[in-house]
Amino acid sequence: MLGFKTFDSACCTLRGIELMHMIKKGQMLDGNGMKLSAAGQFYSLVA
């Protein structure tokens, strides 16, 4: 296994994985404290 070249690369990858787990579990809220659908959570982060 080649691994990551820098510590920053590993951190960014792990943050993305954890973010996807949070979206899957529905743990993210919008600005008004209301839950968003998985698609709504993803597109609110992309935009």
pLDDT digits (tens, 9 = 90+) for 2-31: 788 899 888 888 888 888 888 778 776 666
Give the separation between CA 28 and CA 22, rounded to whole angstroms.
7
Rounded average pLDDT over 28-35? 66
User: Three-class SS of residue 14?
Assistant: helix
Residue among 41, 39, 20 at smallest CA distance from 30: 41
Q: How many helices (H) and strands (E) does the chain have?
A: 2, 0
Give the separation between CA 38 and CA 41, rounded to whole angstroms.
5
Query: pTM for the whole thing?
Result: 0.58
Tokens for 25, please give them.
């579990």
